[in-house]
Structure 1
Amino acid sequence: MLKNKYADTYIDRWKKGEILLNKKRIQLIERIETDILPYDDRYYYDEEKIEDYITFSETWYFELDEWEKFIAPFIFLFHIESDEPVFDEFVINMGRGGGKNGFISTLANYFISPLHGIDYYDVSVVANSEKQAKRSFQECYRVIQKKGNEDLREEFEAYKSSITGLETQSVFEYKTSNASSQDGGREGAVIYDEYHEMENTEIVDVFSGGLGKVDCGRQFFIGTKGFVREGYFDIKYRECEDVLNGAVDFAGSGIFPYICELDEIGQMDDPDLWALANPALQKPLNKRGERLFTKVMKQYKKLATEPSGRSAFVTKRMNFLEESMENSVASWEEIKATDRPFFELDTVPVGAFDYGSVRDFAACGLLFKKGDEYAFKTFSFAVKYFCDVHYGYSITGQSAGTEKKAPIKEWERKGLMKVVDEPSLNPQHIVDWFVEMREKYGVRKIIADNYKLDILRPMLEAEGFEVECIKRPRSIHPLMASRVEDGFANKKFIFGDNPLMRWYTNNIYVKETPDGKQFLKKEEVKRKTDGFQAFVYALYRAGELDDQVQIDDILDMMDEIHF
């Protein structure tokens, strides 16, 4: 078993009831205990670097909080084989005032120091505004320039725009998140401050492109829930949820999600539970914690006379989106429950397909019904170039199941999909699949949206299929929402041993809109949803399966009557 006194103490104190943790931090501990600690033959803590970082921080800055000492060992947790970090992305999300900026100040200064010992390990802190970007930088600058800190000035050359570690020649700078004016450098670490304000992935794409040029590249995302919806925060938050829920391999993801938030809004009215959202409010409070608690309490009491401030208080102080009605379409446990053997597929199914783009994925499926259960048998096609770019499909030496983000080769091996080396997906693949399925199951009717149906409809009709077009797919989502929710909750859906279909489903979230619930993508490019959308199209006409069952029952009854 891996052992580290800081990580172990934090976990033990939680188990003894001495510190209060929200559900996501409890899930994080469960992942650590299941996926990391038992594997001392794979990973190791660099105890020297852990101690050096903590000593450096507490000598020149301040005494680190428990949560900071808990995270530190995992920053310096390495693979035995490669000596590279197990976690290269740290997501630190908590209520305002928790000490996030102080934490990254100490890390940035340590990373460019001789104690860290990696030459040219540049550090950039990135934020939407110059004022925010400079916050941690200025803290480091002031500490170095402070009277009595001559030893630091011998190690670091500090100017108002950059700080250089003289021995390692590593540079710490601050930058604003204007992607058009930036270019990826050779950073060792990039810190995205208040990343909830980022509207898209552009700035992360720019700066992450510079990582990998020096050893042990890392990214840190720090922030509090904000008001920018469908921005980068939502993408990252859902990615963290997948890691914590076990939908994505913890160590393989490289993501360490430390998320502090209320578990439910009612906890806001109990000040003893505020530590769920902000570890600086963990009792017993230190001097800084007492000041923060007093400030938060004043803001809380003010809500009685100024209720318009509630949204900002809930979001910024409690790290909770009170009005958010966005959830995964089903829990991971409900999605896993679809992994059951098919019942006997001896009725005529409804066919469906989703052809999201000719340059990435397409999914075909057959929906069967028996009693209250629905079985969905599916097959997908994907363009090789897209799989190479986004999942590392053709990387030399790549083995099945080791691709980035999605194990395409493993799904191919299981017979769930086919990768085609074509500039765009030939629609004949879809037609041929349905022809083959007609020979096995007798499928006659196929449901699809309007995309590319001008090409596919005549091809399918030439083969004798009846094709129904859903002209506005999103218009059926509110109609299907209750059936989908009920089906997952009551284990009515069966996908068989199909991790690809579970992946499609897990990539969907439900958003409340004025027109009703919508099934949307958690991320626009890499997390495909074609199989789930095809499933919804088929469910839209599942009533025809009911009619079929009724006719079969009538025919069976007639067989028993002697005329």
Structure 2
Amino acid sequence: MARKELENMFNALSDSSNGIHSFLKEYIGKCKSGEIIVGHELIQMLDILQSHFGNPDIRFELEDPHKRIKFIETHCKHFEAPFAGKPFILELFQKAVAEAIYGFKIFDEEAGRWIRLYQDILYVVGRKNGKTPFVSALILAEFFCGPKGCKVLCASNDDQQADLMFQAINSMREESKSLERKTRKNLTGIYFGNPRKPIKTGKFSYQNKGSIRKLTARTGSKEGRNIAVGAVDEVHEMKNNELVMPIQQALSTQEEPLYFELTTEGFTNDGYLDKRMKEARSVLAGEAEQPRWLIWIYTQDNEAEVWQNEQSWHKSNPGLGVIKKWSYLRKWVDLAKTNTETRAFVLAKDFNLKQNTAAAWLMENEYMNLDIFNPEDFRGHFGMAGVDLAETTDLASAKIMLMRKGSAKKYFLSKYFIPEAKLKAKEKDEGSDYQKWVADGLVEVSPGNENDFSLITKWFIRIYKQFGIRPYKVGYDNALAKYWAKEMEDMGFDLERIPQERHHMSSPMKLLGQDLRGGLVNYNANPVDMWCLGNMGFSVDSREFIMPVKIKTDKRIDGGVAKIIAYATYTRYRNDFINLLK
């Protein structure tokens, strides 16, 4: 259909509310004509909304949404740079969302009146598109424009994220003298009534028991609440419905409850958001019915268009060019083209393309290094060690990282350890050749069913006796250390605990990746090292912290983990270590 025909069709859908202009109909028309670029999942929702206009059982009235839009644009101000202090003027897509939420009405026999059709809103949009300020402004508008006694809960998986929404609401309240005069804030929440400007009766007095409070997954006593509005921010981090179910149940007594879920895509596999997105896509495809659910998803249709067509970025970033800067997004996309960790983060957070937890960390050409060196060249040097003890019944790895003064290149001495009982079974691992590695002296076998960690201690002593190479620090995770740590300390080694946790492993893993890609790591062409690096994937969280994981559960990554631990120890003691280098 030609663009002019589309415009005429939607102009014909003029609003029945006294000829008032509808932002939703304008938005639908521009999306359908291609003037505004959106993904197919949002088009599916717009098709559903369009069908409502011709449904005699559904009314479209603009008084309620426009009251809230006017409230936001008149009373709310931005509180963060670069818009701090400026009026909160909504973009067309935000006004369309507001009309979709508040404009459609159905007759409820039990209530005996026309009530809001949509009670459950899933709002998925790329980061930095103003989702938290926008929904916060809607909540503040509902608090003032909605019924007396409106109670609101702002929730998220942790206190920091829940506080972002709560503080956004409060900051907008404080920016407006008229709103601030009618309300008060204390440690528990925001309430009507101001002791400095007391009003004895009415909606804006202490008689109004409405409130805005925050809640996290770690907060106790989530049951037994009675609220009118619930909003859960960044649901992608939630593993289950432990937080959202009590909030949804707390809304059950309301005739017109309002429940928001707002988020970007995340990295929690089989988590709460995965289930919700699967349900949402079934509804959008017409395979399931949930007529009270407004599903507003901004996402790319595929990954290829991210790299090939900048204009497609609008699909997941409706605020691009106004709220979110082109330069900001281009910078991240450029980084993502050359960095695996950044790529996964950008695709999830900026384009709402879910990434597998165990994405491959490095390409083969990035970690494959056939350079060799002679340990004799480092005679009398200090090194930085890393040990991954793994399980006592599986592969363990010990490494010494060596450097020369004035050079960023790292050289690794390595040894692996495996129980005798596991040796034969491990031969079935794809890409492994344990028997040859044992014969070549790369893997040492412990008699019996468990690793004898004292063999690791003996290896460090042997390296010292043979080459005079001594670890300045030995990084390890003490979860499985048991007697070994004490044995090492008794032999005079200085140990440093490196917990295998995201905030400890992320930076050294990224640094190791950069060095491997830059050809700054020489691990003596050790085939076990190559195999472990090829097996290693990574997981990333919303803070862009990464962790090593196995691409497949039956593969070993111990050699890569031991390198990361050595790097982590090195970064803690970089200056002292460099001063010892020859």
Question: Match of 2:140?
Answer: 109
Please report how far the alpha carbon of residue 140 of structure 1 lies from its aligned counterpart in structure 2 after TM superposition: 2.1
| Structure 2 counterparts to residues 477-516 of structure 1, below 5 A | none
Question: Match of 2:348?
Answer: 315
Q: Is the 8 A contact 1:240 1:257 kept in 2?
A: yes
1:156 and 2:183 correspond: yes
Alpha-carbon distance in structure 1 between the residues aligned to 2:71 and 2:64: 10
Query: Given the alignment, which residue of 290, 294, 314 partners 1:275?
Result: 314
TM-score by length of 2: 0.51
Question: Match of 1:239?
Answer: 279
Q: How many residues align?
A: 315
Query: Given the alignment, which residue of 3, 12, 23 partners 1:6?
Result: 23
Alpha-carbon distance in structure 1 between the residues aligned to 2:327 and 2:348: 18
1:69 and 2:95 correspond: yes
Question: Match of 1:298?
Answer: 331
Q: Is the 8 A contact 2:267 2:356 kept in 1?
A: no
Question: Match of 1:37?
Answer: 53
Please report how far the alpha carbon of residue 69 of structure 1 lies from its aligned counterpart in structure 2 after TM superposition: 0.7
Alpha-carbon distance in structure 1 between the residues aligned to 2:355 and 2:295: 21
Alpha-carbon distance in structure 2 between the residues aligned to 1:258 and 1:318: 14
Q: Is the 8 A contact 1:6 1:70 kept in 2?
A: yes
Question: Match of 1:534?
Answer: none
Secondary structure of 2:184 counterpart? strand
- More displaced 10-residue stretch of structure 1: 126-135 or 136-145: 136-145
Please report how far the alpha carbon of residue 187 of structure 1 lies from its aligned counterpart in structure 2 after TM superposition: 0.8
Question: Match of 1:126?
Answer: 155
Alpha-carbon distance in structure 2 between the residues aligned to 1:145 and 1:29: 36
Q: 1:219 corresponds to which letter in structure 2?
A: Y
Alpha-carbon distance in structure 2 between the residues aligned to 1:49 and 1:309: 43
Divergent runs of 4+, >4 A: 322-325
Please report how far the alpha carbon of residue 180 of structure 1 lies from its aligned counterpart in structure 2 after TM superposition: 5.0
5+ residue gaps, structure 1 = 326-512, 516-563
Question: Match of 2:173?
Answer: 144
Please report how far the alpha carbon of residue 201 of structure 1 lies from its aligned counterpart in structure 2 after TM superposition: 1.3
Alpha-carbon distance in structure 2 between the residues aligned to 1:127 and 1:278: 22
Question: Match of 2:68?
Answer: 53
Secondary structure of 2:211 counterpart? strand
| Structure 2 counterparts to residues 458-537 of structure 1, below 5 A | none
Alpha-carbon distance in structure 1 between the residues aligned to 2:139 and 2:297: 21
Q: 1:302 corresponds to which letter in structure 2?
A: L
Please report how far the alpha carbon of residue 165 of structure 1 lies from its aligned counterpart in structure 2 after TM superposition: 3.4
Q: CA RMSD in A?
A: 2.3
1:266 and 2:304 correspond: yes
Query: Given the alignment, which residue of 29, 41, 59 partners 1:24?
Result: 41
Secondary structure of 2:262 counterpart? strand
Question: Match of 2:210?
Answer: 170
Please report how far the alpha carbon of residue 208 of structure 1 lies from its aligned counterpart in structure 2 after TM superposition: 1.2
Question: Match of 1:204?
Answer: 244
Deviations 1:327-376 (A, max 9, x none): xxxxxxxxxxxxxxxxxxxxxxxxxxxxxxxxxxxxxxxxxxxxxxxxxx
Alpha-carbon distance in structure 1 between the residues aligned to 2:127 and 2:96: 19
Deviations 1:152-187 (A, max 9, x none): 122222335411234243111111123754224111
Deviations 1:436-465 (A, max 9, x none): xxxxxxxxxxxxxxxxxxxxxxxxxxxxxx
Secondary structure of 1:49 counterpart? helix
Deviations 1:255-294 (A, max 9, x none): 110111111110111222111111111xxx22x333xx22
Q: 1:55 corresponds to which letter in structure 2?
A: K
Q: Is the 8 A contact 2:121 2:261 kept in 1?
A: yes
| Structure 2 counterparts to residues 538-549 of structure 1, below 5 A | none
Alpha-carbon distance in structure 1 between the residues aligned to 2:303 and 2:69: 35
Secondary structure of 1:79 counterpart? strand
Question: Match of 1:352?
Answer: none
Question: Match of 2:228?
Answer: 188
Secondary structure of 1:21 counterpart? coil
Q: Check 1:164–1:214 CA distance in 2 against 1; reply closer, same or farther (3 A cut).
A: farther
Q: 1:296 corresponds to which letter in structure 2?
A: L
Q: Check 1:49–1:322 CA distance in 2 against 1; reply closer, same or farther (3 A cut).
A: same
Deviations 1:404-448 (A, max 9, x none): xxxxxxxxxxxxxxxxxxxxxxxxxxxxxxxxxxxxxxxxxxxxx
